[in-house]
Amino acid sequence: MNKNVAAVVLAAGKGSRMKSDLPKAMMPVAGKPMIRHILDTLDAMGLEKIVVVTSPDGELVRKEIAPHAYCIQDKQLGTGHAVACAKDVLKGFNGKILVVYCDHPIITQETFSRALNKLDEGYSVVVLGFTPDDALRYGRLKMKGDELERIVEYKDASDEEKAIRFCNSGVMAFDGKVLFDILSEIKSNNAAGEFYLTDAVEIARKKGLKCSAIETSAEEVAGANTQEELAQLEIYLQHRKAG
């Protein structure tokens, strides 16, 4: 059992872009809801605690994830805000905390474990990165040796930064002793008025904390925002089972 390890699963999104009334987390992949694949993986790791962030009307999700804990994100104010909603449920927890997304159903135990183990090297924040064929729309991971200096959104990237191929999957591992302190300093002074979890890297470094990143395949961190992407996840899972 992975004592002293918890996970926060972000599952407050709607399925509107998939033209479905189902919440995104409940969209089926290979015969079961996307979020069930993630929970099965995390359950197999024997984590001490799993908290799922749901929307106020996410009753279907809360029923699916039982008996795991949940919290409610009253307003969708960004990924940083979503993780901060889990603060009360994780009160007093000082271990390692994984932050994962409901639409990344095929990440393996081994990859999650590599991110968590990287924290043992003295890092407070570890980001799961990948190198896609087409890096255009992804945030870039700006590295200096083994240290992650910052995450740069594509729209904010300089030409030099756009040339970086190492990209942000969104999945992160944190030292639980500092996570919520970092989140409390994230600002919403951006065009969307949202609190972005990606800002955690810059804030952590300003506090003198070390950040890093590990790499996995683009296939493993594939997500789904459309029916076409959902179908692609199904193909990936079929290949994995066949292999």
- Tell me the domains of the chain and their CATH numbers: 1-104 (3.90.550.10), 107-187+196-221 (3.90.550.10)
Would you say 85 and 71 are in contact if contact means Cβ atoms under 8 Å apart?
Answer: yes
How many Å apart are CA 42 and CA 165, to the nearest integer?
29
pLDDT digits (tens, 9 = 90+) for 82-126: 999 999 999 999 999 999 999 999 999 999 999 999 999 999 999
Q: Within a 10 A sphere around the Cβ of 94, how many other Cβ atoms?
A: 12
Residue at token pair 């009307």:
57
Q: How many CA atoms lie within 13 A of 179 on its CB side?
A: 31
pLDDT digits (tens, 9 = 90+) for 171-228: 999 999 999 999 999 999 887 889 999 999 999 999 999 999 999 999 999 988 888 8
Return all residues near 56 (Cβ < 8 A) that are at least 6 apart.
Answer: 72, 74
Q: Across residues 14-26, what is the average pLDDT? A: 74
How many Å apart are CA 138 and CA 135, to the nearest integer?
6
The C-alpha angle with vertex 14 and arms to 13 and 15, in degrees rounded to 5, equals 125
How many Å apart are CA 29 and CA 234, to the nearest integer?
6
Residue 148 has pLDDT above 60, yes or no: yes
Amino acid at 32: K
Is residue 204 classed as helix, strand or coil in its secondary structure? helix
- pLDDT top residue among 81 and 155: 81
- Cα 12 from chain centre: 13
- Mean pLDDT (the chain) is 92
pLDDT number for residue 13: 80
pLDDT number for residue 136: 81
pTM over the 0.85 mark: yes
11-20, 33-42, 53-62, 174-183: segment of lowest average pLDDT: 11-20
